[in-house]
Structure 1
């Protein structure tokens, strides 16, 4: 090879090193690797034994029932023998009982046979419709949203499954009608390598899909890892968590057509996950201050992942942390669901739900 070619090759190699370094720095920054946590923000908590991975929690405040979705994600992702047969479920805590008696009760029907629930959502209306919607990641795919009727005691009866080519990599769902819902695609491709590259390069290729009861269409795009989703009590605002964007996006919703118009974003500086809207309109958000630590925890339960709860008060236009733990008490938090003066904390992998006091003080970290 001539000196000229060696020089060109050297410049190309240097350029590649610079590009990879810049991309790596951007990803690590977005993932909270350089985030320093000065101190924990404690709450009075106790653990309730649960199934592995109680990832999402939805509370029916009227019936005093907490619905929890879960399955053993660590075993599935590890590809352990027989992992294809792993089935998850939906569970209920009767919140009308004394707190010391709270426990998980299975309410999952036998249909669908392949059921690994992720995000869930409750829906009820004045006509007596009372339903639960659940994102489902069945072994072998395709991804679906399952719709269940809820009986008086919380038991579920399967209504039907919704499938669509618009369901790429579903994460969470929020129901807005007896058959209609929004769902987040956290990636723009089904290919695992493509998803990894998309995360590393911080591609804004995740989307929000609206299903009107007949068909699903993308109604918002260019989101950086869309995660949790929820809707305001009046149905006019949709909140979407951008995990790698460390922000909550706020969309104005056209109730008639389902279309979304971006109104703005609230940067929270942490890896936001599921969103719970309390009766007073405030948002509780489970969050990962250090996503790199979360990824380590995903493969090794002995490695702790800091867990955080952020309260966002839209009316007052303020936000702050009400709980922050280095990971000893809870690792890989995914949701904080408020119920009166307590909150129920779920997590992605470990078999516990935490019941913690809910502070009204907003703090920085």
Structure 2
């Protein structure tokens, strides 16, 4: 009887020691996970105002998340959606707008005022052929995601069709290669549950880029931490993908079949969002220097979130320069998401503010 009691006692002691070790291991893993999250999202970054220029105008247009410029015709196309919180709890409403840039009056035209279906545009792209523009916009509704296709002719927008596909898991941004071919980023590989949690907080690299060749979608690149903004430089045959969760821009070359070959990552030190390319081939991005603060802002838990604009001069592999152009704590404009260049102007879009900024660089 004594032997049995002794064996039980020793067994229980062993279980207790094992339980303590497991608890200690779990505690260490939690500490490491939290430390990784706060460090890799810019939580401890000090935000100090920086801009060598001035604010030309504040444009009253809510959630001007993506902006792209036609330098030849002197206007910008804007994707605007009035966002209250993210993720949305009700159907959001938005539209596509143009803003005139040549005469300095910045006149705005609402292009989709007669568009009848639910429309909450996100990423946009346009390409010119002859005198008309082909425009595509990512659309998010409570019933799912789609790509809305338009033709812009003399400031008149004509709806062509909607494109849907199961591969559009969580579409964020789009870039046209020609009138019918394009790339789309999915910013999540998981849209709910523990997978989404580890994507957002752990930086799990499971999002992707899909390619539409005019007939079908195929996966062109994968293993990206929150694939976001995307753009293509046809002169250099390079495609750029923003990974805000990785604080980097990924560089790819484009094959004839549309598949992408990875070249390198450009560390940017901030949560890069949309990417625009200026006339000299430089990359411009609106960015979120503190991702946790931005998430709290997007959920309505914080009144502001810091904004940043960066410029990337990319000359080839291992040859690039990243410059901070505009940095502020969010009291002027929160949640910067895009930076489009027209001459010496920077049009800085955002995710949820009621207005966006037109900045002017010092020469």
TM-score by length of 1: 0.90
Whole-Å separation in 2 of the counterparts to 1:273 and 1:348: 10
Alpha-carbon displacement from aligned partner over 1:339-364 (angstroms, at most 9, x marks no partner): 0011111110011120101256xxxx
Q: How does 1:256-335 map to 2 (within 5 A)?
A: 256-300=256-300, 303-315=303-315, 317-335=320-338
Alpha-carbon displacement from aligned partner over 1:303-346 (angstroms, at most 9, x marks no partner): 32221111111137222111111211111000010000111111
1:174 aligned to 2:175? yes
Whole-Å separation in 2 of the counterparts to 1:264 and 1:106: 39
Whole-Å separation in 1 of the counterparts to 2:301 and 2:71: 33
Tell me if structure 1 keeps the 8 A contact 2:132–2:153.
Answer: no
SS in 1 for 2:138: strand
Whole-Å separation in 2 of the counterparts to 1:30 and 1:314: 24
Alpha-carbon displacement from aligned partner over 1:122-173 (angstroms, at most 9, x marks no partner): 11235x55211111111221x11111101112x3211111111111111100
The residue that corresponds to 1:105 in the other structure is 109
The residue that corresponds to 1:87 in the other structure is 93
1:189 Cα deviation after fit:
1.8
TM-score by length of 2: 0.91
1:61 aligned to 2:71? yes
The residue that corresponds to 2:215 in the other structure is 214
Whole-Å separation in 2 of the counterparts to 1:233 and 1:356: 27
Tell me if structure 1 keeps the 8 A contact 2:47–2:306.
Answer: no
The residue that corresponds to 1:144 in the other structure is 146
Higher mean Cα deviation, 313-322 or 262-271? 313-322
The residue that corresponds to 2:5 in the other structure is none
Whole-Å separation in 2 of the counterparts to 1:280 and 1:211: 28
1:75 Cα deviation after fit:
4.7
Name the structure where strand makes up a greater proportion of residues: 2
Tell me if structure 2 keeps the 8 A contact 1:57–1:69.
Answer: yes
C-alpha RMSD of the superposition: 2.0
1:213 Cα deviation after fit:
0.8
The residue that corresponds to 2:61 in the other structure is 51
The correspondence for 1:336, drawn from 320, 336, 339, is: 339
SS in 2 for 1:2: helix
The residue that corresponds to 2:246 in the other structure is 245
Shift of the 187–112 alpha-carbon distance from structure 1 to 2, 3 Å rule, reads farther
Tell me if structure 1 keeps the 8 A contact 2:284–2:310.
Answer: yes
1:18 aligned to 2:21? no
Which of structures 1 and 2 has the bigger CA Rg?
2
The residue that corresponds to 1:363 in the other structure is none
Tell me if structure 2 keeps the 8 A contact 1:173–1:229.
Answer: yes
1:31 aligned to 2:37? no
Question: Which blocks of at least 5 consecutive residues in structure 2 are unaligned?
Answer: 1-10
1:203 Cα deviation after fit:
0.7
Shift of the 192–358 alpha-carbon distance from structure 1 to 2, 3 Å rule, reads farther
The correspondence for 1:122, drawn from 120, 126, 130, is: 126
The residue that corresponds to 1:345 in the other structure is 348
1:232 Cα deviation after fit:
0.6
Whole-Å separation in 1 of the counterparts to 2:170 and 2:251: 21
Tell me if structure 1 keeps the 8 A contact 2:65–2:80.
Answer: yes
Whole-Å separation in 1 of the counterparts to 2:281 and 2:75: 19
Shift of the 38–88 alpha-carbon distance from structure 1 to 2, 3 Å rule, reads closer
Tell me if structure 2 keeps the 8 A contact 1:50–1:104.
Answer: no
Show structure 1 runs of 4+ deviating over 6 A: none
Shift of the 31–24 alpha-carbon distance from structure 1 to 2, 3 Å rule, reads same
The residue that corresponds to 1:5 in the other structure is 15
Tell me if structure 2 keeps the 8 A contact 1:109–1:157.
Answer: no
1:287 Cα deviation after fit:
1.0
1:199 aligned to 2:200? yes
1:299 Cα deviation after fit:
2.9
